[in-house]
Amino acid sequence: MDSSREFVKDVKRVIVKVGTAVVTRADGRLAVGRVGALCEQLKELNSQGYEVILVASGAVGVGIQRLRYRRLVNSSLDDLQKPQIELDSKACAAVGQSSLMALYDTLFSQLDVTASQLLVANSDFRNPHFRMQLSETVGSLLDLRVIPIFNENDAISTRGHPNEDSSGIFCDNDSLATLLALELKADLLVLLSDVEGLYNAPPNKPHAELIHTYVKEKHEGEITFGDKSKVGRGGMTAKVKAADQAADAGIPTVITSGYATDNIVKVLQGQRVGTLFHKDAHSWTLVKEIGAREMAVAARECSRRLQALPSKDRRKILLDIADALEANESLIKVENEADVAAAQEAGYDKSLLSRLALKPGKISGLAKSIRILADMKEPIGHVLSRMELADGLILEKTSCPLGVLLVVFEARPDALVQIASLAIRSGDGLLLKGGKEANRSNAILHKVITEAIPDTVGEKLIGLVTTREQIPDLLKLDDVIDLVIPRGSNKLVSQIKDSTKIPVLGHADGICHVYIDKSANMKMAKHIVLDAKTDYPAACNAMETLLVHKDFLSNGGFNKLVTELQRKGVTLHGGPRASALLNISQVNSFHHEYNSMACTVEIVDDVHSAIDHIHRHGSSHTDCIITEDSKIAEIFLLQVDSAAVFHNASTRFCDGARFGLGAEVGISTSRIHARGPVGVEGLLTSRWILKGNGHIVDGDEGVIYTHKSLALQS
């Protein structure tokens, strides 16, 4: 649960206010579908033991519609040609109120819920006796699990209409809801609206963002409400005022949409729907942080300054970071040990603890790899191709930074250092979100690194995202974030892919195959298969499926291999052919990643069947053939269209460091942009630079194209 929503655990009494915009249709009639869905939600809360109070408006609007219709039915043709007198709003309220209550009563009774009607006026509350009695009455109703439905007694109210709008409809039941919340000591007030909540700009504008938690000091004055919605008559201003007042008095208030069928239930589950008003909001770190867009824009601006620096200055930043890490080693260790201790206490498993801990020598190792990165050939502005288009018109394709990256990684705090240094080397801005287990380690590493970034660039080049709740906001920013790189479980990768339009670099599955051809060297096959499976079974480049040529079975080597795998503790599961042959359990699906000391085995007819199998069931990560026949190897290397295809070498080699790329941000199985292990090169893109001396196209009449390739100057 979002920490800002933890207060819901203590909520018992809930007041829900539903306005005209939610309960009426465009034609003024009751939106019976939405009213029904509201009743169903309140029934749920009632069943769960909450004390539910409804403040229902909309009566006047419904009454207007009904009376207009009545007047039409009663009119003669003559009457209809006269100008129509305005309907009396009190009469409308009287008619509308009974319609509204009849509907609530019918709907609630279908749901086996008893509802009751309470009509009150502002002036009633001046009387202390009334207030005491009201509390008692409501208390008795709630004890009987009856839902009290409040409305302003508009039909007999004697006050003027200061809040009446041009349609003659009142719009201040929001303040009545706040009044009741205070009077009846509610634990939560929910104001239903026709939009998702409070936005920082009119909700129909392209970059309007929902404010999850309202902080008066921050948001007051900064928000433009825009035009009132076409359907809503209350308007957001009144709601914000009412919500702010209730929150000040200690009653948390949420403004959320009444169009959805489950928002109230979600609010009470602690989900982050709508806009929360809470008296302590200003003190929560979450909301003190800058917004997602602000963070991404700042990273982009800093990255442009970084890119504009001379190469030697960029190199110096990396060297400064390496020095700063070593200088702050003891500080980093203290924070990391605190994380490890907390994780131990929380009972996390060994493998997580091992990834979390920065082992002795790790910091100096990281510093060393940053210095290697600093010394690599400048990757930015590298001329990739050069061509003379016409006399004096030279076109170059040059490498340049991608822009802003969002990297979401789990556990490993050393990943933060690797990724940050790769981003700086490639001139990119970076937003980082680490696992919460490594919160303190990540915070100190981020601090040490960003403090080493000069002011000419700005420390906001690398933003640290500290709460998971910011991720959905970040994933929406496809106009300021250029690439998302998730590093973690399949689930994390899939979730991110499913929820963003920003390109995602990475891999969900790592289903790597080793195919042993009939011509394989038996000893080599055993050697490679054992390494591919057992060197580090949890790695994405470990073998998950072993395919064996049918003729390899007969030479006896296969049985030895199987025995050896089993002896090492590998559990074998078979496809239809192998399970029959080896008497092992049959797999349900060949598309399966074990990540453990287990694998699938299947027999195939030849190299073509192996390739088919890999295309059909694989994940395009790393696939290997073992054969002494170079023609067969060529077929496999040419046709398997995975990110990495190996001949007579273990799949475990598929790794940025082993491939000589320095650090890696991850392994990509995507076919767009970088594939396989991604280092600096994958964090770059290219630009076309054209230099002329006044060349114009002029309908292609004036230019004599030469299209001559030029040598790259180095």
Residues 291-320, interacting with a copy of itself (CB under 8 A): 304, 307-308
Interacting residues with a copy of itself between 206 and 225 (CB under 8 A)? none
How many Cβ atoms are within 10 Å of 565's Cβ, its own excluded? 22
User: How far is it, in rounded angstroms, from Cα 538 to Cα 114?
Assistant: 57
Asked if residue 442 lies in contact with residue 416, where contact means CB atoms within 8 angstroms, the answer is yes
CB of 283 to a copy of itself, least distance (A): 35
> Closest by alpha carbon to 332, among 366, 361, 363?
363
CB of 455 to a copy of itself, least distance (A): 18
Selected range binding a copy of itself among 158-166, 180-188, 246-254, 522-530, rule: CB under 8 A = 522-530
Interacting residues with a copy of itself between 96 and 115 (CB under 8 A)? 99, 102-103, 106-107, 110-112
CB of 465 to a copy of itself, least distance (A): 21
- Considering beta carbons, is residue 43 or 212 the nearer one to a copy of itself? 43
E strand intervals along 123-250: 147-152, 188-193, 213-214
Asked if residue 426 lies in contact with residue 510, where contact means CB atoms within 8 angstroms, the answer is no
- Considering beta carbons, is residue 235 or 676 the nearer one to a copy of itself? 676
User: How far is it, in rounded angstroms, from Cα 710 to Cα 714?
Assistant: 12
- Considering beta carbons, is residue 282 or 497 the nearer one to a copy of itself? 497
Interacting residues with a copy of itself between 61 and 90 (CB under 8 A)? 69
**Site for a copy of itself (CB under 8 A): which residue of 39, 190, 444, 516?**
39
Selected range binding a copy of itself among 158-166, 167-175, 333-341, 526-534, rule: CB under 8 A = 526-534
531 belongs to the binding site for a copy of itself (CB under 8 A): yes
Q: Which residues does 440 contact at the CB level (< 8 Å), separation at least 6?
A: 335, 336, 338, 339
**Site for a copy of itself (CB under 8 A): which residue of 182, 319, 387, 492?**
387
CB of 400 to a copy of itself, least distance (A): 6
Binding mask 9-28 for a copy of itself (x = CB under 8 A): ----------------x---
Give the number of residues in contact with a copy of itself, rule: CB under 8 A: 97
- Considering beta carbons, is residue 376 or 584 the nearer one to a copy of itself? 376
Say if residue 524 is exposed, middle or buried (CB neighbours under 10 Å; 0-12, 13-18, 19+). Answer: middle
User: What SS3 class is residue 451?
Assistant: helix
- Considering beta carbons, is residue 236 or 678 the nearer one to a copy of itself? 678
Interacting residues with a copy of itself between 546 and 585 (CB under 8 A)? none
Query: What are the φ and ψ backbone dihedral angles of 554, each rounded to 5 degrees?
Result: -70, -20
- Considering beta carbons, is residue 29 or 71 the nearer one to a copy of itself? 29
Q: Residue 474 is encoded by which pair of tokens?
A: 């970040």
> Closest by alpha carbon to 5, among 190, 184, 261?
190
CB of 33 to a copy of itself, least distance (A): 3
Interacting residues with a copy of itself between 135 and 194 (CB under 8 A)? none
Selected range binding a copy of itself among 79-87, 182-190, 510-518, 523-531, rule: CB under 8 A = 523-531
- The alpha carbon dihedral of 606, 610, 616, 617 has a sign of positive
Q: Which residues does 170 contact at the CB level (< 8 Å), separation at least 6?
A: 57, 60, 152, 154, 161, 163, 164
CB of 686 to a copy of itself, least distance (A): 6
CB of 482 to a copy of itself, least distance (A): 5
- Considering beta carbons, is residue 98 or 467 the nearer one to a copy of itself? 98
Interacting residues with a copy of itself between 580 and 619 (CB under 8 A)? 615
- Considering beta carbons, is residue 215 or 309 the nearer one to a copy of itself? 309
Residues 376-411 as b or e (16 or more Cβ within 10 Å = b): eeebbebeeebeebbeebebbebbbbbbbbbbbbbb
Interacting residues with a copy of itself between 230 and 259 (CB under 8 A)? none
34 belongs to the binding site for a copy of itself (CB under 8 A): yes
- Considering beta carbons, is residue 439 or 648 the nearer one to a copy of itself? 648
How many Cβ atoms are within 10 Å of 136's Cβ, its own excluded? 10
Q: Residue 210 is encoded by which pair of tokens?
A: 């929902």
User: How far is it, in rounded angstroms, from Cα 220 to Cα 241?
Assistant: 11
Q: How far is CA 220 from CA 240, 244, 281, 304, 372, in A?
A: 10, 11, 13, 32, 49
Interacting residues with a copy of itself between 630 and 669 (CB under 8 A)? 633, 635, 637-639, 641-650, 652-654, 658-660
Interacting residues with a copy of itself between 673 and 712 (CB under 8 A)? 673, 675-677, 685-700, 703, 705, 707
CB of 605 to a copy of itself, least distance (A): 18
405 belongs to the binding site for a copy of itself (CB under 8 A): no
- Considering beta carbons, is residue 605 or 641 the nearer one to a copy of itself? 641
CB of 524 to a copy of itself, least distance (A): 4
CB of 146 to a copy of itself, least distance (A): 16
Interacting residues with a copy of itself between 363 and 382 (CB under 8 A)? 381
Asked if residue 321 lies in contact with residue 328, where contact means CB atoms within 8 angstroms, the answer is no
SS (H, E, C) 33-94: HHHHHHHHHHHHHHHCCCEEEEEECCHHHHHHHHHHHHHHHHCCHHHHHCCCCCCCHHHHHH
What's the one-letter identity of residue 406?
Answer: L
Say if residue 422 is exposed, middle or buried (CB neighbours under 10 Å; 0-12, 13-18, 19+). Answer: buried
Asked if residue 574 lies in contact with residue 582, where contact means CB atoms within 8 angstroms, the answer is yes
In angstroms, the first-to-last Cα distance of the chain is 55
- Considering beta carbons, is residue 73 or 346 the nearer one to a copy of itself? 73
DSSP H helices, 376-413, are: none
**Site for a copy of itself (CB under 8 A): which residue of 182, 231, 389, 522?**
389
**Site for a copy of itself (CB under 8 A): which residue of 527, 550, 560, 577?**
527
Interacting residues with a copy of itself between 472 and 511 (CB under 8 A)? 482-483, 497-498, 501, 503
